[in-house]
Structure 1
Amino acid sequence: MRVAGSLLGAQTTRFEQVDPLLPPAAPPPDGQVLTAALPGGDRVAGVVTHSTFEPGTATTLWSALQLWEMHPLVGATGGAGMDVLLREWARLQARTTAGPDSACLLTWPSRDTVAAQPLLAHGFTPLTSLAVRHFRAGTPMRRAPQAGVTVRLATPSDLETVLALELAELAYSALVGAAVLRPDAERVKRATVVRHFEQGDPMWLAERDGVAVGLAHCRLMDVVADSLIATRLRPGRWGYVNCVSVADDARGSGVGSELMAVAHHELHSRGATGTFLYFNPPNPLASVFWARQGYRPLWTSWELRPASALR
């Protein structure tokens, strides 16, 4: 597809103008190719992929069972190009059989706000943001510990405590984001937490009077060129903040900030030059908390459920 090469170059230039932290625009994966033309003759393209996730897998806790994802190549055409491409996708989706547990998904740079209006007009909601935080020169100094709160690394003996806090976070996220609280969530989460303990991923517990009141579940990741995550982040060593959960009766008391002060210090000490995470913009707690922690959105995932609702 000759048009794809020129669109990819123009899209990379657009990304550089919109946000200097974005990696170059990535070639789309294999899938259903769509093309569309603007009134002036400019052409845009995209690839739609279809995935089906088996019940009982970890992915089903944050995704519909059937997922159609668009990978746009709109070059420098902005919102107009996004609109005509979404119209073409809607025509394709109308010929597709999608059940109630299905979704359409499109991820786009958060600061390229010209895409927001057409996405909203076609029924999409900004459910998830990938946000980033970069460390300044030198290891960040830890502030004085909060009185009455201690933070320590969790061990496998803390499995039940970690699991309870992760399930509480999942239940809350299901109210305000893309997460899905499925009947087998406890079994799936348990297996996932066990695996992360086996991998040695750092999980910090905050305790008050010996009782766990918060969790920060993190991971170190080396982002290398040509890896899947390199389509979202520039290469380097990153700390991934996988899950932060504060007990309901401890929210607003500084526990989350204390956890992240420790996590940021320790991740940086282990070589991370920045950290990233996913949060839900509709979440009234997370959207405020993470900004205060120095994070800002890099990519926004726009979602529509069920997939048959695409217009």
Structure 2
Amino acid sequence: MTVSRGLVEAQGTRFACLDPLLPAMAPPPDGDVITAALPDGSRVAGVLQRQVHDRMSAARLWSATEVWELTPLLGAAGAAGMDALLRAWRGRMDRVGPAERDSACVLTWPSRDAEATRALLDHGLVPLSVIAVRRHPPVPGPRRPQVTDTPPIPNTPPVPNTSPVPNTPPVRNTPPVPGALVIRRATPADVDSVLNLALAELRYSAMVGSTVDRPEAAGLKRRTLAERLAAGGPAWLAERDGIAVALAECALVTSEPGNWTSTRLPTGRWGYVNCVSVLPGARGGGIGQRLMAHAHRELHRLGTVGTYLYYNPPNPLSSVFWPRQGYRPLWTVWEVRPAGALR
């Protein structure tokens, strides 16, 4: 079954008014179509997809095993359209039968659509994570020399030669100051340190967001991180006295027509901040800010137009830290677990 093109076009126009940074509306994915009628006789629709992740899939570290994901197509309808569609979704879940405990209903919607928020909350969905973006600040151009009409001062003595005196011994590298922070690129040899920091972030996030600390987490993380480091993926460690105390593990992603990223980000090459972790004993001293300033500079140097990441609004650390680094929500991922708890 196809979805009305008019709904897609009207929703694209509404999104552009909500937030100019949202990408152009893409055609809806394949899946089961749900429709709902509004009191004025108009209709809204949504495409429902079901996915069951394999037990050894890394996706189970940030997702329920069974996921029902809805892509709403509300056209120009606001809260009333969202409410009607969610009621229809609840009816569809009733016909499916009891959901597994490790399941979820998920919906991603523009963060700035406050009108739809009320309907989402009323149906039991929770804003567990957001996709936040940060544009790189413009690079300042070269300063133009100032032209003055002041005549040169006559008989100005020549500037003395300040070149090094011959036979001056070369300047030696200064050894690191004890306790000073050193930021460097992570290599495959750092996989144990990177894994330790990544697991610390996962365990904390599991208390305050959609992350799940599963028994397979260490093995899945080690495999994934080893592959990324071996491929030269951008990752940086902050060290103090040779001990890794913070990690920024990133990636380079291109948003172009036809790929999944283009449904979430404007066209261009983006830096993806996958995991930032500071060990508990090292928090509160500005290490994370210094590490991310370094990562932002390096990702900009690699030709990205900006960076994006996921963070959990219920997280008392990241919900404060990331806005201070210049990030702001673009999309909110609404979720309810288990799937049968949808109202």
TM superposition shift of 1:301 = 0.3
TM superposition shift of 1:30 = 1.1
Q: Which runs of 5+ in 2 are unaligned?
A: 142-178
Q: Aligned pair in 2 of structure 1 residues 5, 151: CA closer, same or farther (>3 Å)? A: same
How many equivalent pairs are there? 305
Q: Which residue does the alignment assign to 1:133?
A: 134
CA distance in 1, matches of 2:140, 2:52: 43
- The structure that has the greater radius of gyration is 2
Q: Which residue does the alignment assign to 1:261?
A: 293
Contact kept? 2:233, 2:251, Cα under 8 Å: yes
Identify which of 210, 218, 226 aligns with 1:178.
210
Work out whether 1:215 is the aligned partner of 2:247.
yes
Q: Say which SS state the counterpart of residue 171 (structure 1) adopts.
A: helix
AA at the equivalent of 1:120: L
CA distance in 2, matches of 1:217, 1:86: 37
Q: What's the TM-score once normalised by structure 1's chain length?
A: 0.96
Q: Which runs of 5+ in 1 are unaligned?
A: 141-146
CA distance in 1, matches of 2:332, 2:27: 18
**Deviations 1:156-205, CA, capped at 9 Å, x for gaps:** 11110000000000001100000000001000000000111122111100
AA at the equivalent of 2:105: C
Q: Which has the higher helix share?
A: 1
Contact kept? 1:61, 1:179, Cα under 8 Å: yes
Identity of aligned residues (%): 56
CA distance in 1, matches of 2:267, 2:135: 13
Q: Say which SS state the counterpart of residue 39 (structure 2) adopts.
A: coil
Q: Aligned pair in 2 of structure 1 residues 139, 239: CA closer, same or farther (>3 Å)? A: farther
Kindly report which structure 2 residues correspond to 1:86-165, keeping only aligned pairs within 5 A, or say none.
Answer: 86-97=86-97, 98-138=99-139, 148-165=180-197
**Deviations 1:57-100, CA, capped at 9 Å, x for gaps:** 10000000100000000011111100000000000001113100
Q: Which residue does the alignment assign to 1:58?
A: 58
**Deviations 1:118-161, CA, capped at 9 Å, x for gaps:** 11000000001000000122189xxxxxx821100011111100
Contact kept? 1:127, 1:178, Cα under 8 Å: yes
Displacement over 4 Å in runs of 4+: none
Work out whether 1:271 is the aligned partner of 2:272.
no
CA distance in 2, matches of 1:152, 1:291: 25
CA distance in 2, matches of 1:208, 1:151: 9
AA at the equivalent of 1:9: E
Q: Say which SS state the counterpart of residue 152 (structure 1) adopts.
A: strand
Q: Which residue does the alignment assign to 2:83?
A: 83
Q: Say which SS state the counterpart of residue 54 (structure 2) adopts.
A: coil
CA distance in 1, matches of 2:288, 2:300: 18
AA at the equivalent of 1:47: V
Q: What's the TM-score once normalised by structure 2's chain length?
A: 0.87
Q: Aligned pair in 2 of structure 1 residues 14, 152: CA closer, same or farther (>3 Å)? A: same
